[in-house]
Amino acid sequence: MTAARPTRMSLGLPLLVGALFAASSAPFAAADPDLFWHLATARETLARGLVRTDLFSWTVAGSAVPADQWLGQLAWYGAYQVGEWRGVVGLRTIGVAILVALIVTSALLARRHGPLVAALAAIPAILLSRFSWTERPELFGTMFFAGALVLVRAGRSGSDRAMIALPALLLVWANVHGSYALGAVLVVVACLEGAWSERPRRRVYALVATCSLAATFATPALGASWTNPGLHLLHPPRDIQEWAVPDVGTAAGALYVFTLALVLGCAMLVRAVRPRDVIVLVPTALLSLTATRHMQLFAIAAAPYLAAHGPDALRTVRDALRLDVPFPRLPAATPATARADALVGVAAVLLIVGSVAIAPRAPDLTNFPVAAVEALPPGPGSFNAYDWGGFLIWYAPRTPVFIDGRLVPYLDRTLDEYKTIIGARPGWRALVDRLRIRTLLVHPGDPVAVRAADLGWRVRRASAGFIVVEVP
């Protein structure tokens, strides 16, 4: 009897699903409020070198700012330079395609001969990853996380090449987005588990863990590179929607809890999981409970588990019900050929290129105060709503902002001052005087706008979405 030769995994399904979801995302114009300050930072980086101090605000001008996403910012700016806003959408579309393809690949690695099961298991992760389909370095971070899962799985299955690729991945990741910290922890834990259970490859695991950790320090911030991820993890700014706690009352929250419940229910009904699955799922579950933006990470990590064990759980339920129903025969994977993969790859590329070709040429500025820009005075003294800071940095560079989505430089003092003024909390008028604020650019429903109207302050410009008020 000869052992069955392992078949090569087909890349057709990941490519096809990735391209389909990417194409579905392409018609949406760039609209992320943080995109603009990322672009502006990258522009300054190219013009003057790495941006280490604030250049855009009047409240923390000259203060140190983190430079931990410089490479990700350059990527977005590069796309903008190449194709303007359509270039940005194009890069986002490619990022979505790669992310979705990696999620499906990860599920397919866990069930090589069940492409339909793998695709179904990947659906919660794909839908939740929609959260990071934005024009920010976060998209690359999520992409790298999915990639790291694929490499860890392949590496633990015996591929030294996959293991060696991990430090390289982390080197890039650490310069693109702060989520690299999760990747580093994942790799180190996987290596520890590998070294424990697979003694002959101990040296490989030790080397990969050491190099991966070292790679995370190869950033402009060196040793301080871990400060930002730690700060955000332990002190998430709950006022910002994506840092709020997961809420089952929202669609994304419900899908996340459904995924968590699915994994738990599956685990209850199916025994004997390898520790390598536990060391990925449990820390990711803990992280996902901390903030809305982390929910997707658990779903991505769970996709291969659900692909591998979901059908077994269903069989257990069927057996418990003592139903005499044969388990549906799911289509098995046809042997993959390089030619078939190449054909699907070409089709995927054509689909992505075609969808980008008809993508919007301009960003969606519906939620931004476009008509207010001309009413803002140049120089310091303008108070703006948080979500509009990035927009103003890009579209009103002569008017430095009070605050914007970079958050970290504002944490010490400015964020509290912002909350006091925007909420018209006691002492807000004294603060406006002390900071010499000349203009307010806020939403008409913000308490400060309501109070300014009560006080009869002059309105320079107003619409349904914004109001520019002159401070007397």
Partner 1 sequence: MTRPLVPYALPLSVAAAAFTLAVGLPSTDPDTYWHLASGRWMVDHGAILDRDLFSSTAPGQPYSVGEWLGQVVLYLAYAAGGWSGLAVLRALCVATAAFFVARLAIRSTRSALLAVLLTSAAIILSKITWGDRPQLFTLALFPLTFDLLLSARDHARLRAPTALIALPPLVMVWANLHGGYALGLFLAAAFAVEAILTRRAPVAFVGAAVLALAFSFADPGSLGIGAAVAHVNAPPRVIAEETPPDVLTSAGALFALFAVGVLAAALLAGGTLLDALVLVPLLWLALSAQRHLPFFAFAAVPYLARALPPPRDLLPRRAPLPDGVAVALAIALTVGAAASARDAPAAPDDARYPVAALPALRASSGVLLNEYDWGGFLIWRAPGRPVFIDGRLFLFLPEVLNDYLVAIELRPRWREALERRQVSQVLIDPRHPLAEALRDDGWIVLASGARFVLLERPR
Nearer to partner 1, 87 or 236 (CB): 236
What spatial distance separates the first Cα and last Cα of the chain, rounded to whole Å? 91
DSSP structure class, residue 136: S
In the bound complex, what is the minimum distance in angstroms from residue 284's beta carbon to partner 1?
A: 10
Candidate residues 444, 457, 465, 470; the one interacting with partner 1 per rule CB under 8 A: 444
Q: Does 267 bind partner 1 (CB under 8 A)?
A: yes
Candidates 281, 297, 375, 452; binder of partner 1 (CB under 8 A) is 281
**By CB neighbour count within 10 A (0-12 exposed, 13-18 middle, 19+ buried), where does 49 fall?**
exposed
Q: Are 246 and 295 in contact (CB under 8 A)?
A: yes
* Nearest distance, CB of residue 254 and partner 1, angstroms: 9
Q: Are 97 and 348 in contact (CB under 8 A)?
A: yes
CB 246 to partner 1: min, Å: 6
- The answer to whether the CB of 15 falls within 8 A of the CB of 348 is yes
From 237, 253, 377, 381, residue interacting with partner 1 (rule: CB under 8 A)? 253
Q: Identify the bridge partners of residue 459 per DSSP, sorted by sequence position.
A: 469
Q: 354 or 427: whose CB is closer to partner 1?
A: 427
Q: How far apart are CA 212 and CA 187, in angstroms?
A: 7
Q: Which stretch binds partner 1 (CB under 8 A): 100-108, 189-197, 212-220, 244-252?
A: 244-252
CA distance 404 to 381: 15
* Residue 457 backbone zone (phi > 0: left; psi -120 to 50: alpha; other: beta): beta
Return the residue of 454, 456, 464, 472 that touches partner 1, per CB under 8 A: 454
| Residue of the chain from 286, 332, 343, 346 that contacts partner 1 (CB under 8 A) | 286
Using CA atoms, how far apart are residues 291 and 132, in angstroms rounded to an integer? 13
Q: Give dist(CA 32, CA 44) in Å, integer.
A: 20
Tell me: does residue 450 bind partner 1 (CB under 8 A): yes
417: contact with partner 1 by CB under 8 A: no
Q: Is 119 or 266 the residue whose CB approaches partner 1 more closely?
A: 266
CA-CA distance, 320 to 93, in Å (whole number)? 45
Q: Which position among 428, 439, 452, 466 is part of the footprint of partner 1 (CB under 8 A)?
A: 428
DSSP bridge pairs for 467? 442, 462
Bin 329: left if φ > 0, else alpha if -120 < ψ < 50, else beta. Answer: beta
Burial of 458 (0-12, 13-18, 19+ CB in 10 A): exposed
Task: Please tell me the distance from the alpha carbon of residue 302 to that of residue 280, in angstroms, as a whole number.
Answer: 9
Q: Is residue 273 within the footprint of partner 1 (CB under 8 A)? A: yes
Q: Which residue in 238, 361, 436, 458 binds partner 1 (CB under 8 A)?
A: 238
Of 29-37, 65-73, 318-326, 398-406, the window that binds partner 1 (rule: CB under 8 A) is: 318-326
Nearest approach in angstroms of CB 319 to partner 1 is: 10
**Choice between 247 and 433, CB closer to partner 1:** 247
Which of 185, 204, 240, 269 forms a contact with partner 1 (CB under 8 A)? 269
* Residues lying near partner 1 in the complex (CB under 8 A): 234-236, 238, 245-249, 253, 257, 260-261, 263-265, 267-273, 275, 277-278, 281-282, 285-286, 289-290, 320-322, 423-428, 444-445, 447, 450-451, 454-455
